[in-house]
Structure 1
């Protein structure tokens, strides 16, 4: 799993892809060092839907992560269509 980082509205989230599932590893406010959330076991980290339910006020951050996921997904799909 390779780690990615997304920033939105003063929040930062570290996340990774686990077989097309977005796993949230860490969430913190840009102005604070202590995280709001941190996963101790990356493979068992909550997915994007669960984090959206747990922290609904961070919807702009979750939307930004979803946007990055789909942009990466479609880039990979476009690059693999011409190869046989």
Structure 2
């Protein structure tokens, strides 16, 4: 799970990455319908997901989607879909 990631909800897209501690860092948020920049952060000062929720609480649905995308990529599909063990 390396590189830049993008998560979109209701025409808002968050661009994010993982830092060396495997924490989500929000780089910027923009509106995909007209390319309006809603939030932008400086390298070295990217907020983590908790801070982003504090700074921009009205984007809670987007932050939930970022968290979901992170966990979907972080946990291999074979572990997510494993059937329950039978005795």
Aligned to 1:59: 60
Unaligned runs of 5+ in 2: 80-87
- Provide the aligned C-alpha RMSD in A: 1.9
* TM-score when normalising by structure 1: 0.79
Q: Is the 8 A contact 1:14 1:26 kept in 2?
A: yes
Q: 1:32 aligns with which of 9, 31, 34?
A: 34
Q: In the TM superposition, what is the alpha-carbon distance from 1:65 to its structure 2 partner?
A: 0.3
Q: In the TM superposition, what is the alpha-carbon distance from 1:32 to its structure 2 partner?
A: 3.1
Q: In the TM superposition, what is the alpha-carbon distance from 1:30 to its structure 2 partner?
A: 1.9
Unaligned runs of 5+ in 1: 79-84
* TM-score when normalising by structure 2: 0.77
| Count of matched residue positions in the alignment of Structure 1 and Structure 2 | 77
